[in-house]
Structure 1
Amino acid sequence: MINCIGDEFVVTGPHGKFDYKKGVKNQIWIAGGIGVTPFRSFIQAGIPKEYSVDFFYAYNNDKEGAYIDELEMLACNENLIMSIFNLNKIVIVYKYKSCNMDLMIKLV
């Protein structure tokens, strides 16, 4: 379990079929560029109430940021925290929780 800033963890995959419902109930999703596509589909379908997801999506520039506007609209899910990073700018971090989609952090 990751508890502190600076803790290390190993990321592997993807391996074979990707079905988040076969995993643990509290998950961290990480995507870059067009790799956001399967996560977008999962969010579109609705994340079941028994799951809690922290989703991190990073892209290099505005041209490579796939589905940004749609992701912002899909962030209306009480068990999803979405963070979006445009790496071409100094830092832009959006964190959404629930339908009000409050912008918690925005640094340009």
Structure 2
Amino acid sequence: MECIVHFEVHHLHEIKELRGLIFLEEGQTPSEIDFLTMFEEMGYKLRLEDKENLVFTPVEPGANYSKIRVKRLDTGEKSYKEDKELRSLLGNLLPGESRPL
């Protein structure tokens, strides 16, 4: 099964959004080793700084980025993620209660 990893690379003056790919057995989730291997194949030498938020930091001094943060994983399965901005917009456009005309 393929797992697309959506992540951010935090540079000094910008954040770049990139994607990587991890191959897994069916029903498996990526491990720390899976992430580190994927990043190393992409040229990033990292260590896991924050396991809960999947934040990685460079191990090489002088790297031109401060951290990499995994934003989401896409395994092709349907998932729901609430869009708070869309909900707010719709809440302001649609009437709050029905009333007769």
TM-score, normalising length from structure 2? 0.26
Which one has a bigger Cα radius of gyration? Answer: 2
TM-score (norm 1): 0.25
Higher relative contact order (CA 8 A, sep 6+): 2
Q: Whose helix proportion is higher, 1 or 2?
A: 1
Richer in strand (by share): 2
